[in-house]
């Protein structure tokens, strides 16, 4: 048994053990598959045991691999804690807020006001699915969004806390047949086609939420469209195609369009703060404090009884309240 095993080798092993697929594991680690295979072979050689059974059809853990996995996870968690304690508080915290409106941006700006000595640098990713990958790769620290829409293998390596149930809305051209209403009953959208970011792999959790909401109601999702980068381009494309858009209660302003709340029922978009497991940083603690104050003062986690959430999200939340 070797005296020291490099954390890189243990990380390679745990990712392959989670994916049971070398190509996907290499993509998660941002390394070549050949390099990943070399690291696994080196670890097996150092340990004197085969860790995986590889066939042309599948990859499975050996009994030795099963024994190693919990130990490897504990070692990596301790290594991440050590790194966080001596490095993370020496640099800015990178916080993805999506856009300059909404829940995440309010938490960020309020934290900057209450903790001016801390540096929180904003990033503007278009969805939590993409941001989660950036967090796991170490290029982001914190993001916000619907955790129930994330791949379980990614979610298992992240920590999260709910911060708000955002009521959902619909963005309509101002000459749309429903634009004159102050509220839009969900049933009134039957026959409509709404843009819900289909085709953008970084916002898969939002498209999934829309798919669940529209199912059986005769509402259609606009055909997949390439990722739209930035607020200015989003406004241009939406106006050009005259799309109606599934949106949240706080949304960017689009000239010639109106934002209307959806009712009967009120669909909710569950927003959580998400960060890399093991991350320690004073600015993260400040974000938590701000989120807690806003949840209490704005009653962000109150969920009315006439609201709607899909089953995966309900499993992560408590009962509805008036």
Mean pLDDT of all residues in 68-79: 88
- Largest interatomic CA distance in the chain: 74
Does residue 321 lie within any of the structural domains? no
Same domain, yes or no: 160 and 276? yes
Q: Using CA atoms, how far apart are residues 274 and 125, in angstroms rounded to an integer?
A: 14
Q: Using CA atoms, how far apart are residues 150 and 152, in angstroms rounded to an integer?
A: 6
Q: Using CA atoms, how far apart are residues 184 and 193, in angstroms rounded to an integer?
A: 14
Q: Outline where DSSP puts E strands in 126-188.
A: 142-145, 158-173, 184-185
Contact present, 50 and 44 (Cβ < 8 Å): yes
Does residue 179 lie within any of the structural domains? yes
CB-side neighbour CA atoms (13 Å) of 263? 7
Phi, psi of 174 (to 5 degrees): -65, -10
CATH number at residue 206: 3.40.190.10
Does residue 121 lie within any of the structural domains? yes
Q: What is the pLDDT of residue 232?
A: 86
Does residue 102 lie within any of the structural domains? yes
Same domain, yes or no: 94 and 240? no
Tell me the per-residue pLDDT of 88-125, one tens digit each, with 9 for 90 and over.
446 899 999 988 889 999 999 999 999 999 999 999 88
Work out whether strand 193-195 and strand 244-248 pair parallel, antiparallel, or are unpaired: parallel
- 227 pLDDT above the threshold of 90: no
Q: What is the pLDDT of residue 89?
A: 47
Domain boundary among 83, 115, 139: 83
Q: What is the pLDDT of residue 317?
A: 61
Which 3 state secondary structure label does DSSP give 17?
helix
Q: How confident is the model at residue 83 (pLDDT cuts 50, 70, 90)?
A: low
Tell me the per-residue pLDDT of 25-58, one tens digit each, with 9 for 90 and over.
887 777 788 989 999 999 999 999 999 999 888 9
Contact present, 24 and 93 (Cβ < 8 Å): no
Mean pLDDT of all residues in 63-83: 86
Contact present, 149 and 321 (Cβ < 8 Å): no
Domain housing 223: 167-267
Which of 33-37, 187-191, 228-232 has maximum average pLDDT? 187-191
Same domain, yes or no: 225 and 241? yes
């Amino acid at each position: 048994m070797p005296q020291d095993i490099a954390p890189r080798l243990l990380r390679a092993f745990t990712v392959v053990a989670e994916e049971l697929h070398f190509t996907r594991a290499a993509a998660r680690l941002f390394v070549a598959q050949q390099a990943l295979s070399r690291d696994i072979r080196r670890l097996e050689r150092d340990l004197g045991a085969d860790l995986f059974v590889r066939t042309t059809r599948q990859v499975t853990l050996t009994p030795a691999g099963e024994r190693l996995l919990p130990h490897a996870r504990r070692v990596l968690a301790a290594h991440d804690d050590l790194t966080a304690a001596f490095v993370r508080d020496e640099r800015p915290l990178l916080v993805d807020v999506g856009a300059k409106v909404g829940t995440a941006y309010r938490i960020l700006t309020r934290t900057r006001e209450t903790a001016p000595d801390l540096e929180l640098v904003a990033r503007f990713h278009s969805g939590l699915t993409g941001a989660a990958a950036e967090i796991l790769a170490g290029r982001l620290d914190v993001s916000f969004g619907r955790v129930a829409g994330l791949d379980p293998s990614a979610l298992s390596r992240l920590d999260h806390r709910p911060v708000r149930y955002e009521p959902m809305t619909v963005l309509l051209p101002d000459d749309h047949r429903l634009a004159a209403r102050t509220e839009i009953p969900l049933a009134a959208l039957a026959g409509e086609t709404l843009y819900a970011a289909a085709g953008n792999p970084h916002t898969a959790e939002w498209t999934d939420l829309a798919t669940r909401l529209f199912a059986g109601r005769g509402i259609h999702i606009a055909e997949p469209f390439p990722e739209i980068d930035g607020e200015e381009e989003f406004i241009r494309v939406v106006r050009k195609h005259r799309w109606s858009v599934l949106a949240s209660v706080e949304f960017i302003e689009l000239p010639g369009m109106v934002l209307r709340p959806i009712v009967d029922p009120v669909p909710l978009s569950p927003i959580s703060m998400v960060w890399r497991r093991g991350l320690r940083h004073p600015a993260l603690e400040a974000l938590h404090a701000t989120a807690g104050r806003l949840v209490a003062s704005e009653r962000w986690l109150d969920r009315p009884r006439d609201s709607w959430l899909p089953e995966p999200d309900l499993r992560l939340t408590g009962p509805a309240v008036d």
